[in-house]
Structure 1
Amino acid sequence: MSSATALDVFDRRESEVRGYVRAFPTVFDRAAGSTLVDADGREYLDFFAGAGVLNYGHNNPAFTAALIEYLERGGIIHGLDMATSAKKAFIEAFERLVLAPRGLDHKLQFTGPTGANAVEAALKVARQATGRSNVVAFTNAFHGLSLGGLAATGNSHYRAAAGVGLDDVARLPFDSYLGPDVDTLDLFERMLDDPGSGLDLPAAVIVEAVQGEGGINVASPGWLQRLRAITEARGILLILDEIQAGVGRTGAFFAFEESGIVPDIVTVSKSISGSGLPMSLVLLRPEVDVWKPGAHTGTFRGNNLAFVSARVALETYWADGAFMDGVAAKSALLRAELDAIAAEHPEQGFVVRGRGLFYGIACDGDRTLAGRVSKAAFERGLVIETSGAHDEVLKFLPALTITEEELRRGLAIVRESLAAVLAG
């Protein structure tokens, strides 16, 4: 059966809202590590990692073994927010391996299993804790597509789908939005201190230390430090959205770690379960945890299978610094190769941005180029997506466990695909 025929049922019955299947038109059947295999047996190297869900690769054997053992012994699968042994073991591991080494004393709130639900919870509790409604978000931000998160999201394509007004969010320029020589926080501070600016004192500021969907825009440590100082001085809560940039993606467990700041609230999802099972949580400083019991609830906020694999991920990869040392080495390789690609095509004006294994090549001169390279790469056996307001950034998001050989092989496909597209 041809790939086109195999996709007939999706064209016939699945909603027009489907997206990734249009970019990667085949029926995937199985996967291991950084390799996807379709129903015809064709292999694809994965530089997409489930949009950041699969930082530890597909079907990681450490997680699979733990999940099989848990299922075979009849472990609790669905537990709402009741206490279970799986949740207890995860909380203890997270406290020991994530919070304590970073000097954090945050409480954990388990929300519904999507990142958007974690953002909704963060915005709600910030408004409750401060008694204020206004929130500041930034240009090119992405915080999810439920209405609260969408109000804080910048992209007009997503915002237009809401069908209602998206209120109580003020938009300000992200770091370097006006160029490298303009500190955009000058505007924020001036507006906060000017009673005629029209900017109401916010309950919170929500920000990504590295914007993923917005085009791999990296906030500098100094910019984040100044943002933390501005918010702290005025009693504004600082929310760090670590849903895509967290869990090792930028070279540390949290993307904000490089700046040395301590946020009031942190949203975590995507790769936190390790295995790809849905899971989200919100970290709250104890004084911000003003929830009444059941005030933010959800049927699937107790995914115990995810707790099992999340605990194993922490114990396997975060007990020492070896895992991040390996990511740093692969990050240096990726950066060097992307810089070389940009240097080989000076006429294109490529800009390389990113940190860790979270990089992009911005193709601003021809905003269709990234999409065409992604398509050509897929035809050659590489899954790689685009991001940015115009989908003008070719986005490199390989698993953190990818081998150096696989990384080099994928980069060779990118080079070949770029050459083919430019040859026209």
Structure 2
Amino acid sequence: MTITQPDLSVFETLESEVRSYCRGWPTVFDRAQGSKMYDEDGHEYLDFFAGAGSLNYGHNNPVLKRALIDYLERDGVVHGLDMSTSAKRAFLETFQETILRPRDLPYKVMFPGPTGTNAVESALKLARKVKGRESIVSFTNAFHGMSLGSLAVTGNAFKRAGAGIPLVHGTPMPFDNYLDGRTPDFIWFERLLEDSGSGLNQPAAVIVETVQGEGGINVARTEWLRKLADVCKRWDMLLIVDDIQMGCGRTGGFFSFEEAGIVPDIVTVSKSISGYGLPMSLCLFKPELDVWEPGEHNGTFRGNNPAFVTAAAALNAYWADGQMEKQTIARGEQIEQAMVAIRAEHPEATREYRGRGLVWGLEMTDPEHATKIARRAFDLGLLVETSGPESEVVKLLPALTISPEELDEGLRILARAIRETV
């Protein structure tokens, strides 16, 4: 692909240095549809990034777009704080009938604000309020958001340093296989809980990602998650599952914890819950935990009604018949076959591949290779990002609606980018 030099001057002179994704993809995107994005010069890119997981149903999904346009054209309420609206009612009823009731999940629904970190903050706040304790246990290489409470339970040193103040009341524990299987699961955690001299304050809750996305696509085993749920129950700690990136079908089931057969006390959801990339998040919790006083946790942008509209449309279109989960698992097997071939072709340059459903990571032996592969893939017309503490993992996050042909095309580009880089 021949790339002409785009005009990036206004971004470079006016926008903050904090910008990141645009540095790896130096072009000006203009339009997008399905699994493809197009820049101002008409160059086409296959998107294996999907808005960091906020576009599970692709760009400008026609079903969701139609619902949104119809709602706006009839002057439906756009901003509603936490007032009762027809759009919110339609979403709540659809969410209950399509997602919660079939899975026998009793959750109450809270709209904490527009972003994932808003959902995490509300979950931590609620857990502390319910238990009357401050400490929260998180895990190595976790990522839960960029606001202060979320950063306190995030593992990445670079992101934590941006807080500028001490991050307190969070205690990290080893994630599944962090110690390469040399230590029995939770032996250190439970020893600290048992020992009054350990210095660990009794935690209010444990927060976990079933698949760590930013941490390097680290996949927790179902048995590990079940043991974690048991530890929480025995030691009177609430279990919070952060399903912000891995929920909404990313790993197969609508919730990533379904495969483990556990029912967390609190679940945070965001990113693809609106289906259209519109800001929206949920904090779900068991009814007995609903101890909030009216207005005790609020925010101006809790009621994003256009997001309610597209969210309900997405649930009706993709989750009413159970086919989405089967399709995602099939597409995941397609990616895994490609990973096997890449690993066989480059046994020394690649360390391992990991994933579930439609989230996969390829860990490179030389961390610098991952960034170079992502940049070469961009030059060839494929958008992929990196993750992991040293950005050593090439991360694949295509839309759940991607076609087998588009997936094959992207995987061929990725294989070529790796071949030309390593």
TM-score, scaled to structure 1: 0.98
- Deviation for aligned residue 1:336: 1.0
Q: Is 1:195 matched with 2:196?
A: yes
Q: Are the counterparts in 2 of residues 3 and 27 from structure 1 also a CA contact under 8 Å? A: no
- Deviation for aligned residue 1:238: 0.5
Deviations 1:111-141, CA, capped at 9 Å, x for gaps:
1100000000000000000000000000000
The 2-side partners of 1:86 and 1:397 are apart by 29
The equivalent residue for 2:258 is 257
- Deviation for aligned residue 1:182: 2.9
The equivalent residue for 1:51 is 52
Deviations 1:275-310, CA, capped at 9 Å, x for gaps:
100000100111111111111111000000000000
Q: 1:266-345 counterparts in 2 under 5 A?
A: 266-345=267-346
The equivalent residue for 1:413 is 413
The 2-side partners of 1:182 and 1:336 are apart by 31
RMSD over aligned CA atoms reads 0.9
The 2-side partners of 1:347 and 1:335 are apart by 19
- Deviation for aligned residue 1:62: 0.2
Q: Percent identity?
A: 57
- Please identify, of 3-12 and 407-416, the stretch whose mean Cα deviation from structure 2 is larger: 3-12
- Please identify, of 379-388 and 315-324, the stretch whose mean Cα deviation from structure 2 is larger: 315-324
User: What secondary structure, in the 3-state scheme, does the structure 2 residue paired with 1:108 have?
Assistant: strand
User: What secondary structure, in the 3-state scheme, does the structure 2 residue paired with 1:87 have?
Assistant: helix
- Deviation for aligned residue 1:193: 1.0
Q: Is 1:399 matched with 2:395?
A: no
Q: Which amino acid aligns with 1:236?
A: M
The equivalent residue for 1:245 is 246
The equivalent residue for 1:98 is 99
The equivalent residue for 1:156 is 157
User: What secondary structure, in the 3-state scheme, does the structure 1 residue paired with 2:298 have?
Assistant: coil
User: What secondary structure, in the 3-state scheme, does the structure 2 residue paired with 1:182 have?
Assistant: coil
The 1-side partners of 2:264 and 2:282 are apart by 15
Q: Which amino acid aligns with 2:386?
A: T
Q: Which amino acid aligns with 2:362?
A: I
Gap regions ≥5 residues in structure 2:
none
The equivalent residue for 1:18 is 19
The equivalent residue for 1:387 is 387
Q: Is 1:378 matched with 2:378?
A: yes
Q: 1:3-82 counterparts in 2 under 5 A?
A: 4-82=5-83
Q: Which amino acid aligns with 2:188?
A: L
- Deviation for aligned residue 1:5: 4.7
The 2-side partners of 1:226 and 1:327 are apart by 27
User: What secondary structure, in the 3-state scheme, does the structure 2 residue paired with 1:239 have?
Assistant: strand
Deviations 1:398-421, CA, capped at 9 Å, x for gaps:
000000000000011011111111
User: What secondary structure, in the 3-state scheme, does the structure 2 residue paired with 1:29 have?
Assistant: strand
- Deviation for aligned residue 1:180: 3.0
The 1-side partners of 2:360 and 2:383 are apart by 15
Gap regions ≥5 residues in structure 1:
none
Q: Are the counterparts in 2 of residues 3 and 25 from structure 1 also a CA contact under 8 Å? A: no
Q: Are the counterparts in 2 of residues 380 and 413 from structure 1 also a CA contact under 8 Å? A: yes
Deviations 1:170-196, CA, capped at 9 Å, x for gaps:
111100000034334111111111111
Deviations 1:314-346, CA, capped at 9 Å, x for gaps:
000000111111111111111111111111111
The 2-side partners of 1:146 and 1:307 are apart by 24
The 2-side partners of 1:4 and 1:416 are apart by 23
- Deviation for aligned residue 1:207: 0.3
The 2-side partners of 1:401 and 1:254 are apart by 17
Q: Which amino acid aligns with 2:317?
A: T
